[in-house]
Structure 1
Amino acid sequence: MARPGRLGIGIIGAGKVGAVLGAALRGAEHAVVGVSAVSENSRERAETLLPGVPVLEIQDIVERSELVLLAVPDDVLGGLVEGLAKLGAWQPGQLVAHTSGRFGVGILQPIRAAGAIPLALHPAMTFTGMSLDLTRLQDCTFGVTADAAMLPIGQALVMEMGAEPVVIAEADRTIYHAALAHSSNHMATLVAQGSQLLREIGVEQPENMLGPLLRATLENALASGESALTGPVARGDAGTVAGHVEALREHDAGGSGDILSAYLAMARATALRAAKRGLLSGRQFSGIEAALDSEDTDARNADGPDTPGTTLEGN
């Protein structure tokens, strides 16, 4: 016999997220009644992760579903919800959940007039769109936003997928998503930049050099926070930092300059946070600041009069 409370679920968007979450919910014995898939890649993904599930038009999916999972890009979500509302597609008592990190349930306001129930369920992980993501969900958290009475439904769905629900207030969704994007997306950029530099000096497999270092750094940072800070900025080694700036300036000359600008921005942020927490003395902070400002000084000497430098109090 089927477990109680099983739902007929429709997946709108067979991207990397939608197909995986659909498979996870199917694994919890919910019935996936239909999936929308436009591109060849999404059709192949649906066939692999949701075998036997029919590929349907969006309106047909909404009509057949007790829970509609909207796994579409942020910029598409609002227009899709509103368009279906104008067509009278939403149904009383129907659950409608989106997977956007940026939005809470406010963007689902058009479904309320029809008596449908909005949920925001955002998985805080990156997806490959392959079956290995189902295992990774076991270590994943979801940012859950819903009306107070409906929170248990959202939390239960997340737990059935094997993940941990964390309640995020509606007003906090954007800063929540910014925190995740800043941590994850920018880390990928930093890794790519580091790999590029190593590859350009002849290191054939930079991932072998960076992998152990970055994994240890991440584990230490998650376990110990900023007390795990190490390296020349945290030590107040201004000479080394100045050397880095000079080398990166020469490297980026005539190019995009993205590596130097990223180094300067992150080194300044690191120094500021270290100083505020007493990890750097005022003198050490000033030395690091001067080393980082050497790039700005060169630019000001070329372009015009000096402007005031950064101060600890001003940041």
Structure 2
Amino acid sequence: MPFCEAINQSNIFSSGGPISQNHKTRSKIIAIIGCGRAGSKLGFWLSRSGYKIEALFDPDITKAEKLSIEVNAEKVCSEASHAASCSDIIFISTPDSLIKPTCAEIAKGGGFNTGSIVFHLSGSLPSSILLEAAKKGALTASFHPLQSLAGGDTEINPFKDILIAVEGYAEAVAQAKKMAIDLGARPYEIDGNAKTLYHASAVIASNYLVSLMKMASEVMAASGIPEEKAFEFLLPLVKGTLANMEKMGVEQALTGPVSRGDATTVIAHINGITEKTPDLKKAYIELGKIALQISESQNFIPEHLINQLRDIFESS
């Protein structure tokens, strides 16, 4: 079986490696290992930013073939090591649990060259999990776009003006920063040991925002407004709050009964949620406590109202 299916017949792989120009003389040549949503988005926009996507691999070959058309890739490979071996820069864009074993598989198959740059896209894992690549002389780093990459829109660049967190070997980090800038993003170097908390923050801001909107929709549905309409009605409120936070800062954008010290309304909320949506009571109270901390730190309300609300949340 050939290493790769060559899209361009002048670059067919032989058993001795790529027939194309020597690895050391190529520049900006990239392999994408894992063509899911993140890998595909990254590959597509890197190709639009002047980078050559040389080779693709995914266990589901149809995903790799689809991306190859979008980015004009030279090769779709049947093994990850073969895709990696013909590229200067390798992105391992698999799910987090597969990054380490995929890296080991590529190393075992001779896919890493001395001086190759290897990135993974995990937000929570450090670059040190790419140890098997480093053992082969590759330069390793992590490259995490702080963005939700769901959806298939190819007109709006999802990397524009976002944070891309990077850490790892200095040479790889330098390349990561350049690529981030080329994508229109803002690179920021972080400590690999801090990535768990960094990623937890991202989960709260993105994933748990979805959870929060589901919670708000359920409570609104309990008021008699159909849940399928609730998001439509709540969305302008959410957008307005985000705009206020962008303009004024997070703490100063807080409004509502806690920020006013309106204990009567808070008690009514807790009683209503307890009656109609009891599973959401705890979440409402815990979020209320955070709102109270903000109100206290910003001196929104006097101390006696802070204490009154604190007693309400604790006793409920």
Range into which the TM-score falls when normalised by the shorter chain: 0.7 to 0.9
Letter in 2 for 1:190: L
Q: CA deviation at 1:115?
A: 1.0
Counterpart CA distance in 2 for 1:45 and 1:249 is 50
Match of 2:270 among 238, 245, 251: 245
Q: CA deviation at 1:277?
A: 3.6
Counterpart CA distance in 1 for 2:295 and 2:65 is 49
Counting only pairs closer than 5 Å after superposition, residues 115-264 of structure 1 correspond to structure 2 as 115-132=137-154, 134-200=156-222, 201-203=224-226, 204-223=228-247, 224-253=249-278, 257=279, 259-264=280-285
Counterpart CA distance in 2 for 1:88 and 1:5 is 19
Match of 1:70 among 85, 92, 96: 92
Aligned to 1:55: 76
Deviates more, 1:54-63 or 1:128-137: 128-137
Aligned to 1:31: 52
Counterpart CA distance in 2 for 1:87 and 1:41 is 23
Residues 122 and 142, structure 1, Cα contact 8 Å, conserved in 2: yes
Letter in 1 for 2:150: T
Counting only pairs closer than 5 Å after superposition, residues 286-301 of structure 1 correspond to structure 2 as 286-295=307-316
1:80 aligns with 2:102: yes
Counterpart CA distance in 1 for 2:66 and 2:161 is 23
SS of 2:150's equivalent in the other structure is coil
Change (3 A) 1:214 1:53: farther
User: TM-score if structure 1 supplies the norm length?
Assistant: 0.83
Counterpart CA distance in 1 for 2:169 and 2:129 is 13
Aligned to 1:17: 38
Aligned to 1:311: none
Residues 19 and 50, structure 1, Cα contact 8 Å, conserved in 2: no
Letter in 2 for 1:83: E
Q: CA deviation at 1:160?
A: 1.4
Counterpart CA distance in 1 for 2:233 and 2:65 is 35
Q: CA deviation at 1:147?
A: 2.6
Letter in 1 for 2:286: A
- 1:227-247 deviations in Å (ceiling 9; x for gaps): 111111111111111111111
SS of 1:205's equivalent in the other structure is helix
Q: CA deviation at 1:271?
A: 0.8
Counterpart CA distance in 2 for 1:45 and 1:269 is 46
Counterpart CA distance in 1 for 2:64 and 2:172 is 32
- 1:253-272 deviations in Å (ceiling 9; x for gaps): 4xxx1x22221111112212
Q: CA deviation at 1:149?
A: 4.2
User: TM-score if structure 2 supplies the norm length?
Assistant: 0.83
Counterpart CA distance in 1 for 2:272 and 2:65 is 47
- 1:38-77 deviations in Å (ceiling 9; x for gaps): 3477357525633555431211111111111111111211
Counterpart CA distance in 2 for 1:248 and 1:221 is 27
SS of 2:76's equivalent in the other structure is coil
Counterpart CA distance in 2 for 1:90 and 1:40 is 22
Length, aligned pairs only:
288
Deviates more, 1:265-274 or 1:275-284: 275-284
SS of 1:187's equivalent in the other structure is helix
Letter in 1 for 2:252: S
Q: CA deviation at 1:167?
A: 1.6
Q: Cα RMSD over matched residues?
A: 2.3
Residues 127 and 133, structure 1, Cα contact 8 Å, conserved in 2: no
Residues 146 and 154, structure 1, Cα contact 8 Å, conserved in 2: no
Residues 56 and 68, structure 2, Cα contact 8 Å, conserved in 1: no
Change (3 A) 1:137 1:270: same
**Which consecutive unaligned segments of at least 5 residues does structure 1 have?**
296-315
Q: CA deviation at 1:108?
A: 1.6
Change (3 A) 1:264 1:76: same
Counterpart CA distance in 2 for 1:225 and 1:67 is 38
Moved over 4 A (4+): none
SS of 1:89's equivalent in the other structure is coil
Q: State the identity as a percent.
A: 24
Match of 1:91 among 96, 107, 113: 113
Residues 27 and 88, structure 2, Cα contact 8 Å, conserved in 1: no
Residues 54 and 73, structure 2, Cα contact 8 Å, conserved in 1: no
